[in-house]
């Protein structure tokens, strides 16, 4: 880092240190690119909030933090430089290069940026939610549903995601409660019809979760409040899946880019966004599903595409 707190002799800046970012950093190193990875917390992203993973090839079962450590070690083995800082904005310059600014005042400049910053599930913000995250509290049915075979669980939400995930969870759980704070769902009519026809799902209307309690083994009970009359009750469950929203961290891009209605980034088949030189991979990209495997797949394509983009850019500049 220079005295001006700027670093410009880079090929790519990778923003986000989850599975996609760590995979991209590994491939950037293999491609002999000058790169840095900026992550606001410890490397691993949402892996660090996941107790156990059973859907990543090569690991029948692995703790999230252990997989994060292995991915970090792998990236570093190929020369990845990981910086702990908070990116505040990605700006494209008139010459087509990028300026990445952080909250600590550092500025990084490079001809390409690979955004792998994922997104943030909307939290309930109730007591016990953070304490039991990964131990009964989940934000991903595909990731964690299999841990609740023949158990009684709850889903919180009323939109398409909540209804779809509740239906998905019936393949594992004995019973699924769908808890919604209003007297009608926001999900599409087709999804609602399927939900109401499923004998394993029971909807609890006009109700919000006020607390999540349990023991060292995990979640045991939800405290509920009826939003219509204020009455309170409890519900015995071993898991609660929260689907009340997800915000992709695409707002780091400080100019217009193509995206869907929810703010997810639209890319081409090389993971490049509508802004030349800006690539995106992982959970913040428009796609069917968001898993560790899709994140690292995106990142593999993106990192190799970055290498080819830089080669083409160099060839054009020499003409």
From 55, 66, 85, 140, the catalytic residue:
140
From 11, 23, 144, 298, the catalytic residue:
144
Contact 248, 122 (CB under 8 A): no
Give the Å distances, CA to CA, from 303 to 55, 217, 231.
Answer: 23, 40, 54
Extract long-range pairs of 221-229: CB within 8 Å, 24+ residues apart: 222/154, 222/179, 224/179, 227/181, 227/182, 228/183
| 144 given a catalytic annotation | yes
Measured over the CA atoms of residue 167, residue 168, residue 170 and residue 175, the dihedral's sign is negative
Rounded CA Rg of the chain: 22
Residues of the chain falling short of pLDDT 50: 1-4
All structural domains of the chain: 6-120+246-317 (3.50.50.60), 137-242 (3.50.50.60)
134: nearest Cα among 71, 208, 214: 214
Contact 294, 22 (CB under 8 A): no
Give the Å distances, CA to CA, from 286 to 236, 248, 269, 306.
Answer: 36, 10, 12, 19
From 11, 143, 283, 298, the catalytic residue:
143
Predicted pLDDT at 182:
96
Helix-strand-coil percent breakdown of the chain, rounded to 5?
30, 30, 40
Predicted pLDDT at 2:
41
Burial of 78 (0-12, 13-18, 19+ CB in 10 A): middle
Predicted pLDDT at 120:
84
- State how far the Cα of 60 lies from the Cα of 183, in Å rounded to an integer: 42
Contact partners, residue 244, CB within 8 Å, separation at least 6:
122, 124, 156, 157, 159, 162
Predicted pLDDT at 47:
87
35: nearest Cα among 92, 91, 100: 100
Enter the pTM of the model.
0.77
- State how far the Cα of 295 lies from the Cα of 126, in Å rounded to an integer: 29
262: nearest Cα among 285, 288, 280: 285
Which two tokens mark 283? Answer: 């959970």
Give the Å distances, CA to CA, from 260 to 115, 266, 299.
Answer: 17, 7, 20
Q: How many Cα atoms sit within 13 Å of 95 on the Cβ side?
A: 8
Contact partners, residue 312, CB within 8 Å, separation at least 6:
none
Measure the CA dihedral 297/169/248/227, to 10°: 180
């Amino acid at each position: 880092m220079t005295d001006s707190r700027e670093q410009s002799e880079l090929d790519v800046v990778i923003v986000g240190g989850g599975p996609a970012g760590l995979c991209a950093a590994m491939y950037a190193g293999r491609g002999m690119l000058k790169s840095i990875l900026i992550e606001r917390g410890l490397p691993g992203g949402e892996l660090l909030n996941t107790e156990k993973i059973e859907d990543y090839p090569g690991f029948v079962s692995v703790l999230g933090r252990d997989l994060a450590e292995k991915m970090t070690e792998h990236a570093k083995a190929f020369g990845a430089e990981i910086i702990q800082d908070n990116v505040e904005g990605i700006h494209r310059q008139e010459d087509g290069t990028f300026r990445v600014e952080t909250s600590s005042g550092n500025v990084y400049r490079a001809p390409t940026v690979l955004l792998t910053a994922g997104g943030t599930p909307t939290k309930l913000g109730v007591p016990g939610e953070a304490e039991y995250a990964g131990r009964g509290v989940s934000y991903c049915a595909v990731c964690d549903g299999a841990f609740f075979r023949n158990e009684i669980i709850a889903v919180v939400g009323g939109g398409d995601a909540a209804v779809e995930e509740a239906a998905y969870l019936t393949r594992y759980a004995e019973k699924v409660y769908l808890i919604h704070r209003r007297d009608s769902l926001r999900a599409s009519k087709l999804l609602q019809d399927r939900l109401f026809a499923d004998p394993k799902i029971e909807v609890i209307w006009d109700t919000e979760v006020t607390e999540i309690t349990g023991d060292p083994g995990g979640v045991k009970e939800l405290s509920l409040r009826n939003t219509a009359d204020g009455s309170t009750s409890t519900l015995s469950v071993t898991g609660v899946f929260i689907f009340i929203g997800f915000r992709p961290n695409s707002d780091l891009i400080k100019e217009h880019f193509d995206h869907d209605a929810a703010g997810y980034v639209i890319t081409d088949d090389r993971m490049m966004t509508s802004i030349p030189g800006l690539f995106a991979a992982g959970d913040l990209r428009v796609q069917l599903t968001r898993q560790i495997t899709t994140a690292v797949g995106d990142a593999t394509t993106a990192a190799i595409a970055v290498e080819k983009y830089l080669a083409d850019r160099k060839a054009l500049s020499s003409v």
